[in-house]
Amino acid sequence: MPDEMVGLRSEESLLTQMHHFFYIVYIMPARDYLGEFEHIVLLTVLRLDDQAYGVTVRREIEARTRREVSIGAIYATLDRLEAKGYVQSRVGGPTAERGGRSKRFFRVTAQGVSAIKHTHRALRSLTEGLALLKTRS
CA distance 34 to 57: 17
Nearer to another protein, 29 or 93 (CB): 93
Binding site for another protein (CB under 8 A): 53-55, 58, 70-73, 75-76, 79-80, 83, 91, 94-95, 97-99, 101-104
Does residue 33 contact residue 122 with C-beta atoms inside 8 Å? Answer: yes
Q: How far is the CB of 105 from another protein (least distance, A)?
A: 9
Alpha-carbon dihedral 66, 72, 74, 79, rounded to 10 degrees: -170
CA distance 137 to 133: 13
How many beta carbons lie within 10 A of that of residue 101, not counting itself? 10
Q: How far is the CB of 66 from another protein (least distance, A)?
A: 17
Q: How far is the CB of 54 from another protein (least distance, A)?
A: 4
Q: How far is the CB of 69 from another protein (least distance, A)?
A: 9
Q: How far is the CB of 96 from another protein (least distance, A)?
A: 10
Nearer to another protein, 12 or 62 (CB): 62
Nearer to another protein, 11 or 62 (CB): 62
Nearer to another protein, 15 or 56 (CB): 56
CA distance 93 to 105: 10
Closest-CA residue to 39 (of 128, 121, 137, 131): 121
Residue 29 corresponds to which amino acid? P
Nearer to another protein, 32 or 82 (CB): 82
